[in-house]
Amino acid sequence: MKEKGNIPEILRRLKKEYPGARTALRFGTPFELLAATILSAQATDALVNKVTAELFRKYRSVKDYAEAPLETLQNDVRSINFYKTKAKNIQACARTIMEKFGGTVPKTMEELVTLPGVARKTANIILSNAFGINEGIAVDTHVKRLALRLGLTRHEDPVKIERDLMALTPQKEWGTLSHLLIFHGRNVCLARNPKHETCVLSDICPSKNL
């Protein structure tokens, strides 16, 4: 893939553009990040942060989520789309963590993906942001779009995209790359009408003139 040599330059430029880029989700503990990530599917980070500000004050431990009446937990997150399913998954995760992992969020990909509603993308987010472990690269819609536009992959499947990005990027930068692409996707490389004129990657982006 001819664009693979651009990864160091992409990282350099985006780090300068978005210094300190990290997840926009607010959390204090690994389980809070897990809950916030579950809630964030097809919802804005701003809305999730608004909901979790109250949620995290009310529920202080994994045990609290595991033992809460489900209807109460659902009501606490009802302003989020698909709130009933998301609340069920949060509680099911809490109960599984209590029963199988001694109340502590596990730190491996293999264990995290056994939790209800947790797939590889969510597990990558938890590992990178809560534990500083770069097991893989979280591929959301922004990462997918930018990876394709920048010529870093030819695939549409997130697992294959992740594999391509991991092969091109130093492991220590995996978590950083995901955050940088998300920030750039939200601010400049929009799904519709990307802002080529203000893009710091425009001269090395193969999709600029497409």
d(CA 35, CA 204): 38
- For residue 91, what are the CA distances in angstroms to 30, 38, 111, 115, 127? 15, 11, 17, 10, 20
Annotated active-site residue in 140, 172, 203, 208: 140
d(CA 84, CA 101): 25
d(CA 139, CA 120): 9
The answer to whether the beta carbons of residues 117 and 92 sit under 8 Å apart is yes
Annotated active-site residue in 86, 121, 144, 164: 121
d(CA 147, CA 143): 6
Q: How far apart are the first and last CA of the chain?
A: 18
Q: Catalytic: 45?
A: no
What is the length of the chain?
210
Q: Catalytic: 140?
A: yes
Based on its alpha-carbon atoms, the radius of gyration of the chain, rounded to whole angstroms, reads: 18
**Residues identified as active-site:** 121, 140
